[in-house]
Structure 1
Amino acid sequence: MKLKHTAVWAGFTAATLLAASACSAETTKKAAEAADDAQGLIKAALTRATDRTQNLGSADVRMTTDLGNGAGPVTMDGTYSWGHGFAFDVDMDTKAANMGQLHAAPKTRTIFVDGAYYYDVDPQPSGPLKGKEWMKIDASAILGEKGAQALDGSTGAGSPVASMRGLKYANNVDDLGKETVDGQRTHHYKAVIDRAHMGKFKEVYGNQDNPFGAMTGGADSITMEVWVNDKDLPVRLTEELGKVTVTMDFEKFGATAAVKAPPAAQTGDLTDVVKAQKQQQG
């Protein structure tokens, strides 16, 4: 209880003030305990959703990334897998992804598996892509060593379930009530992760010298919103990292096709070319 108007309290006896102080302290304590209980209930619900998502291992997802640079969002639609390491097989908008010089079709199939990106391109008349249908670039050439390591291993880092796991770092969570999303009844939650609570996120997002940091401007916080259905599964998940907004809509969990790399004979490797270009750019 804050003493905003001192004059009002001037005539009160010491006993009255002590009683008021005791009441205020008790009320504050109960309010804090209630808030802690509410936060605990929300985090328990988010933990159930995370565990359920983790166990199913894959999903069909429509992911939209807006870099906040006025160029418009990039949409990737397809399978994401995290059961045995992070992988995806998706179609993305060719123009929005700046792939028009290498691929004439409106959609470009993109695969990530075993630490490398593969882009379905038109065979080129010369160079590393001469007569090739796929362009390969190792993740380290695009994300740097730390970024590539973040995607490596069997934990599913970088996948939708990794975003769900990031909720455990949240220092502030809110229950925004019930909403209908994509025809499903859901519960809407919001979580904010500040720099002090980012955990491993700091290694990826906290430095402007890496690609993630450059895109987000070295974000000081991550705001996440998730809509969870009555099966304890996310229907939609959004992340705001600085100027970047990522939205994931989940269509189906589990029972998705395995993600495989294209045949080596049909693939041209541009990893060294991309690394050399980055070195030249400083």
Structure 2
Amino acid sequence: MGVSLAAVAVLAGAVGCQAGDGDKKAAGESKPATQHQSHADATQALTAAYQKTAAAKSAKVRMTMSMPASAPGGGDMEMTGVLGWDPTVMDMTMKGGAFGAAPGSPEQMRMVWQNNIMYMDMGAAGAKDMDGKRWMKLDLAAAAEASGDKAVQQQMAQGLENMNQDPAQQLALLLDSPNLDHLGPVTEDGVRTEHYKGKVTLDEMVASNKSLDTLSKQDRDRLLADMKKSGIKAYDTEVWVDKDGYPVRMDVDMDTPEGAVKVSAHYSDYGAAATVQAPPADETVDLFKMMKELGEGMKDGAGATAGTA
């Protein structure tokens, strides 16, 4: 489970760097006329791509992630399936060396995301430890609410917001890059595309992250300082857009003290219905409920022991 959550964190957090100013891009805000013409052309093309991608609301995706071996969940991983946005839904299968590195972990895992709840298929081996039920349920919002801790609730809310990692938001963030450039035509995945590239600094990413608006200035500054301690200074992003204005591929590279983190996502079938079905309740174990009951059992056991003494 830890490996799968690490993968989700990469997919939804570091990779996404969610942008919150896509609306102004959709409204047609232009860059200053003094900027280089290629930059202006690239901005215009990616603004159109942003609008079409945001309206599509779903796509099939094949994503590969490469993380340093020394990092948590390090190694290579591949995720394939369907991704929907606004609202967020996901049905992905994860596999790869990074995923199978944990002792006892299955060779691959299916992950379903619906209504802000994550379901993880722990396989036949996992079912042996969960009364024959192979699906584990993780309701982050419910866990945050039950904690009674405002800081935890805020963190969970931001995490859920950042799960909405659609390619349109990636484009909105890339549009903020001051050095956005058009690299020219190239064939990608057998499709004729136009290739664009830009770099977004950590400060620019935080400034664009709408989900951080709920933080006070003090908390926001502390968060930025903590992120800078991770050693990530900027995100190099590349996108390949087809003749219909949809991203065919998007790459994000980050340099960390442990080494390079590389993520490459290939998209297709934009606008196809993202049908995601949550597993049956009788095949599901609620992780938060299980941990809560375990904690209460340990508390009762400790009280009984103290009374006997």
State whether TM-score is above 0.5. Answer: yes
Indicate if the aligned counterparts of 2:199 and 2:234 stay in contact, CA closer than 8 A: yes
Aligned-residue CA RMSD (Å): 3.4
Alignment partner of 1:164 is 2:183? no
Q: Which amino acid aligns with 1:197?
A: E
TM-score normalised according to structure 1 size: 0.71
Structure 1 residue 131, shift from structure 2 partner? 1.5
Indicate if the aligned counterparts of 1:59 and 1:79 stay in contact, CA closer than 8 A: yes
After superposition, the C-alpha distances for 1:229-281 in whole angstroms (9 at most, x for unaligned) are 1111111001123342211001221123422321222111223678999xxxx
Match of 1:7 in 2: none
SS in 2 for 1:73: strand
Structure 2: distance between partners of 1:208 and 1:263: 43
Between structure 1 and structure 2, the one with the greater Rg is 1
> Relative to structure 1, is the Cα distance of residues 115 and 102 closer, same or farther in structure 2, using a 3 angstrom cutoff?
farther
Point out where structure 2 has 5 or more consecutive residues left out of the alignment: 1-31, 145-151, 213-219, 296-309
Point out where structure 1 has 5 or more consecutive residues left out of the alignment: 1-31, 278-282
Structure 2: distance between partners of 1:148 and 1:190: 32
Match of 2:190 in 1: 183
Pairing 1:64-103 to 2, within 5 Å after superposition: 64-69=64-69, 71-83=74-86, 85-93=87-95, 95-98=97-100
The number of residues matched between the two structures is 235
> Relative to structure 1, is the Cα distance of residues 226 and 94 closer, same or farther in structure 2, using a 3 angstrom cutoff?
closer
Pairing 1:65-214 to 2, within 5 Å after superposition: 65-69=65-69, 71-83=74-86, 85-93=87-95, 95-98=97-100, 104=106, 106-121=107-122, 122=124, 123-126=126-129, 129-139=130-140, 145=153, 148-150=156-158, 152=160, 157-198=164-205, 199-201=207-209, 203=212, 207=224, 213=227
More helix by share: 2
Query: Which runs of structure 1 show a deviation greater than 3 angstroms over 4 or more consecutive aligned residues?
Result: 32-37, 98-104, 123-126, 138-142, 144-148, 150-153, 200-204, 206-209, 271-277
> Relative to structure 1, is the Cα distance of residues 147 and 221 closer, same or farther in structure 2, using a 3 angstrom cutoff?
farther
Alignment partner of 1:232 is 2:245? yes
| Greater relative contact order, per chain length (Cα 8 Å cut-off, separation 6+) | 2
TM-score normalised according to structure 2 size: 0.65
Structure 1: distance between partners of 2:116 and 2:55: 22
Q: Which amino acid aligns with 1:162?
A: Q
Percent of aligned pairs sharing the same letter: 29
Indicate if the aligned counterparts of 1:66 and 1:73 stay in contact, CA closer than 8 A: yes
